[in-house]
Amino acid sequence: MADICQRFEGKPKQAAAARLGGNRAALFVFATEGLENMAFIANAMSLVTYFYGYMNLSLTKSATTLTNFMGTAFILTLVGGFISDTYWSRFKTCVVFICIELVGLGLLTIQAHFPQLRPFPCKGVAPSQMYQCEAPNTSQLAMLYTGLYLMALGTSGVKAALPALGADQYDEKDPKGAAQLSSFFNWFLFSLTIGAIFGVTFVVWISTNHGWDLSFVVCTIAVLFALLFVCMGKSLYRNNVPKGSPLLSILQVCVVAIKNRKLQIPENTEDLHEIHEKEAGEQHEILQRTDQFRWLDRAAISSGTTADGASTPTVHGSWSLCTVTQVEETKLLIRMLPIILSTVFMNTCMAQLQTFSIQQSTTMNRNLLGFKVPGPSIPAIPLTFMFFLIPIYERIFVPIARKITGIPTGIRHLQRIAVGLVLSAISMAVAGLVETRRKHVAVQHNMVDSAEPLPMSVFWLGLQYAIFGAADMFTLVGLLEFFYAESAVGMKSLSTAISWCSIAFGYFLSTVVVEVVNKVSGGWLASNNLNRDKLNYFYWLLAGLSVLNFGGYVVCASWYKYKKVEVIKEGDYSGKVEMVKA
């Protein structure tokens, strides 16, 4: 009788759980991402003008301050991902970090509004005479950096937890859920793109024509609405329950494997330690053992013999014995690292489009129907292409590819990343051709040393931007989807954060590449005059290096083994195990 009552009591709970998640919940994630990214991208594209024109920082200091802000924002995603997986749910992580971002934007808004919180303006002074301007004092710099890095910390937590929160709304073990999950990441990028387009056009226009204080107000309001939207979906979310530090589990595997280094791995791998008795009512993921990194299997040896034939007793404890699943989670992370490292160079190429291509635009005709396009708004070109390409990819390419390959996502994650890397190399080659033509126009019209814009439309840059926009669509979403699908259950947010770190490392590597090329080439990019520099040679060099990088990626992708999962559903005491290949 008691069992019957428990069954009837459980049905309403199961029905309620079935109503959670899905597309309805994901809509709130899309709205949150679009609004939050609008504020982030708008500032990322134009803050350098605020540092230089309002805070009286030198051009060099302004540029390094912005790149440090960008790098920090993406690197700190590791902190947000770790907290989300270990201590808080993804929903709580998003709420807390959005609040932190609001505080940072609030400080920047206050400083931009009150002149006494900034140095006396120094507009119209040549860079070589910046020493004549009033430098910001310690308190003004402290307020600037506090607001700036609170904003970086806030956006980092959102970027780590929000994609995973949205992806959690779908069952990736179900073929239909896997297809919906792939669609989620495509539409997630679409919402990110819409927010970025508004940021680099509408918000940049406000900062240029109506002042930075109003621009920061608009960004603050956008992030505030992002907070409201993510909270409005709370009753619909399927929330993760943190189950301890994933990094601690990986450390335990390494320590135990080293402690057991003298033990022989059993010939029958079924003798390795694994737990199959779980708490009722929960679903657990058991990873099937793989042959790669066999030395780590020693962490799962409960009893065995050493090389000299001595026997060892059975030992229990997290620092003395690990499960096969723990070992495989560690192997997964090791296997994924070469994939992320081989995508860093693509983001180095992206950094050139955000720096040198912006400088190219300042030498070209930027008139569009009587309107002069602001320099920081040039990235709207690739974003516009992405705006049209993403629905085409989702609604046309994926269904056709799905019928051909039988894969719910159309093509596998690693194949999607590969397409992006190829397009990235093509983009750099096209950039070299466009720059060659731009220099030819400058010579042809005797304008090599002229400050006047060349009689060449800035929309020639749209060729390289369009191709790279497509590359970003393939690679960025491919990385997010790959790391979410392949990572262990307890590492979803942290793995998503690792994919964002590729962008940070790309920015840092960009600085190194430019300096090394300048020294080795004798100054391809050192004359401060693009009409005399060899920027086209630099683009072609990047294209060649991108091809070599793609070759390395192919090797890493061929070596990678997709995870295989045993899903054990509690309450099924028949001992049946469902095998799922990710």
For the stretch 83-97, pLDDT in tens is: 988 888 899 999 999
CA dihedral for 502, 504, 510, 512, sign (positive or negative): negative
Instruction: Specify the higher pLDDT residue, 67 or 156.
Output: 156
Could you tell me which of 186, 160, 166 has the C-alpha nearest to residue 387?
A: 186
Q: Given this model, what pLDDT does residue 574 score?
A: 38
Per-residue pLDDT, 316: 58
For residue 433, pLDDT beyond 90: yes
Strands in 578-581's sheet, in edge-to-edge order, are 283-287, 564-569, 578-581
Of the candidates 533, 577, 582, 539, the one whose C-alpha atom is nearest the C-alpha of residue 562 is 582
Same fold for the domain at 20-122+132-241 and the one at 342-582?
Answer: yes
In sequence order, which residues have a C-beta less than 8 Å from that of residue 177 and are 6 or more positions away? Answer: 170, 171
Q: Quote the CA–CA distance of 371 and 368 in Å, as a whole number.
A: 5
pLDDT value for 223: 96
* One-character DSSP codes across 164-207: HHHHTTS-TTSHHHHHHHHHHHHHHHHHHHHHHHHIIIIIHHHH
Rg (CA), the chain: 27
Distance CA 103, CA 358 (A): 31
Amino acid at 333: L
Q: What is the pTM of this model?
A: 0.82
CB 348 within 8 A of CB 424: no
Helix or strand or coil: residue 40? helix
CB atoms within 10 A of CB 205: 15
Question: CB atoms < 10 A from the CB of 20, how many?
Answer: 15
pLDDT band for position 127 (cuts 50, 70, 90):
very low
Evaluate whether 489 touches 580 at the Cβ level (below 8 Å). no
Model confidence pLDDT, tens digit, residues 398-424: 899 988 988 888 888 899 999 999 999
Record the tokens describing residue 138, joined without a space: 């310690």
Residue 304: pLDDT band (50, 70, 90) is low
Cα(96)–Cα(88) distance, rounded to whole angstroms? 10
Residues 6+ apart with CB under 8 A from 279: 570
> Which residues of 162-318 form beta strands (DSSP E)?
283-287, 304-305, 311-312
Query: For the segment 371-408, what is each residue's pLDDT rounded down to a tens digit?
Result: 777 766 778 888 888 899 899 999 999 899 988 988 88
> Both tokens of residue 386?
């992405």
User: Which backbone phi and psi does 569 adopt, to 5 degrees?
Assistant: -100, 125
Contacts of 543 (CB under 8 A, 6+ apart): 425, 426, 428, 429, 432
Q: What is the greatest pairwise CA distance in the chain?
A: 95
What are the residue boundaries of the structural domains of the chain, listed by start? 20-122+132-241, 246-331, 342-582
Both tokens assigned to 418: 């590969």
Spell out the CATH class of 20-122+132-241. Answer: mainly alpha
Provide the pairing of β-strand 364-365 with 304-305: unpaired
pLDDT digits (tens, 9 = 90+) for 210-268: 889 999 999 999 999 999 999 999 999 988 778 777 888 888 999 999 988 888 888 77
Q: Judge whether residue 271 has pLDDT over 80.
A: no
Contacts of 43 by beta carbon, 8 Å cutoff, 6+ apart: 151, 199, 219
Domain 342-582 has CATH 3.30.1330.10: no
Minimum mean pLDDT range among 151-160, 276-285, 485-494: 276-285
**Residue 49: partners with Cβ closer than 8 Å, 6 or more residues away:** 62, 207, 376
